[in-house]
Chains A and B, each alone.
Chain A
Amino acid sequence: MNVLFVAVFCAAGAAVAMTDPAAFLPALLRGGEKAAGLCLSLAAVYAVWLGFLRVAEDAGLLSLLSRGLRPLTRRLFGTDDEQALGHIAVNFSANLLGMGGAATPAGVAAMRRLGERGTPYARAMLFAVNCAGFQLLPATVVALRAQAGAQDAYSVFWPVFLAGLCALAANVLLVWLAYGLRARLARRGRAGAEASRPQASRGGGGA
């Protein structure tokens, strides 16, 4: 991430310096301004949803939801952590219902928990599931199409639904493949190192 940041920043900075150097600092400030504004509106959204989620948690509703989704989430994320699975269940259901405002706070809470006692695989899987943006009804697009005077605002339902499902499947599959491969390579590397060590010492003894 650090290398990426420096590379893109310097490339863009050089391009600005060549065309319009005066635009450099205003662009940076505009980014900071956007971050401050976004944080303020996020604070408002998170306050509502984290408060609501805490009430639902204290009432025992979250554990109910997470128990319902447990067979799926436990296998997918490879963790038994009660609290993480609870937040993941909320995150997943909110995503399906298109309630992004509720999904992100729950997802971040799950990520914090997985950061303490989860594997890189589980963290990557949580991120991947959220990146697909799969939802049962693309409400925003349908509303915008109706507003733009579409004949049938719902006519994109199937393409969008299937593409979202593909995105979910592809995201999950790629993480599963990449992290599974990495774990297998690491295991083989360890096994190989252990196997080669006696050989090497034997070779050293022969010489």
Chain B
Amino acid sequence: MSAALLFPVLFCAVFVFAAARRVRVYDSFASGAAGVLPLLRSLFPYLAAMLVLAELFEASGLSARLAAALSPALSALGIPSEVAPLVLVKPFSGSGSLSLLSGLFARYGADSYIGRCASVAYAAGETVFYLSAVYFAVLPKKPVLPLVLALAANAASLALGCLFCRIL
């Protein structure tokens, strides 16, 4: 079964099952969708602040300099320096890291060590800064410790992932 088939089957099965259990599916769906507006109200301000900061950081050239400064440390961990921009962008932006990943594939080949490490860097670990803006937007006080912990954990697993690329 192709993965694309999952969604139509899932939606239809759940709707039919709900209807059989006398759920008013139309009203129920609408009341769920109504929850979007308060969610966006709390989300937008923090998303805006985070993205303004990210754009300014990018425009200042500090992100490129940070990538250059970090690449020796990364290569000590077995992560090729070509992957450094991807490693840096990944915590901020899913679409940005996706375009960097396809660029690395086009330049070095998907089967090269660089291409394999880039695959790991993209797939293992999430857009941590973005997630922290989204998840903590609904809390009155935004904690910073979970953010630091997640960055550390993902960096460690990236180094391990590159090791797996070499031995597997």
Contact across chains for B11 and A141 when beta carbons are under 8 A apart: no
Contact across chains for B3 and A139 when beta carbons are under 8 A apart: yes
- Report the separation of the CA atoms of residues A11 and B59 in the bound assembly, to the nearest whole angstrom: 12
The answer to the question of B70 belonging to the interface, with a C-beta cut-off of 8 Å to chain A, is no
The total of chain A residues at the interface (CB under 8 A) is: 92
Contact across chains for B111 and A155 when beta carbons are under 8 A apart: yes
- Which listed residue, A26, A111, A141, A167, touches B125 by the CB 8 Å rule? A167
- Which listed residue, B61, B122, B126, touches A130 by the CB 8 Å rule? B126
Contact across chains for A35 and B48 when beta carbons are under 8 A apart: yes
Given contacts A56-B14, A128-B153, contact A12 B56 (CB under 8 A): yes
CB proximity of A180 to chain B, nearest CB, Å: 12
Contact across chains for A52 and B29 when beta carbons are under 8 A apart: yes
- Note all chain A residues with C-beta closer than 8 A to B43: 39, 42
The answer to the question of A55 belonging to the interface, with a C-beta cut-off of 8 Å to chain B, is yes
- Report the separation of the CA atoms of residues A87 and B155 in the bound assembly, to the nearest whole angstrom: 28
The answer to the question of B75 belonging to the interface, with a C-beta cut-off of 8 Å to chain A, is no
- Note all chain B residues with C-beta closer than 8 A to A30: 55
List B123-157 residues whose CB lies under 8 Å from chain A: 123-126, 128, 131-132, 134-140, 142-147, 149-150, 152-154, 156-157
CB proximity of A78 to chain B, nearest CB, Å: 15
- Note all chain A residues with C-beta closer than 8 A to B9: none
B160: nearest chain-A partner, CB-CB: A166
- Note all chain A residues with C-beta closer than 8 A to B3: 137, 139
B138: nearest chain-A partner, CB-CB: A112
Contact across chains for B105 and A148 when beta carbons are under 8 A apart: yes
Contact across chains for B49 and A5 when beta carbons are under 8 A apart: yes
Could you give, for residues 123-145 of chain A, a 1 whenever the CB lies within 8 Å of some chain B CB and a 0 otherwise? Answer: 11011101111110111110011
Could you give, for residues 90-112 of chain A, a 1 whenever the CB lies within 8 Å of some chain B CB and a 0 otherwise? Answer: 00000001000000110111011
* Nearest 8 A/B pairs, CB to CB: A54-B32, A163-B161, A31-B52, A59-B18, A170-B153, A150-B110, A31-B55, A167-B157
- Listed A/B pairs (16) with beta-carbon separation below 8 Å: A1-B142, A1-B144, A1-B147, A27-B55, A32-B51, A54-B29, A55-B29, A107-B135, A108-B39, A132-B154, A144-B105, A148-B115, A149-B109, A160-B120, A160-B124, A166-B160
A35-B50, A131-B150, A145-B115 provided; 4 other pairs, C-beta below 8 A? A123-B139, A147-B102, A150-B115, A167-B125
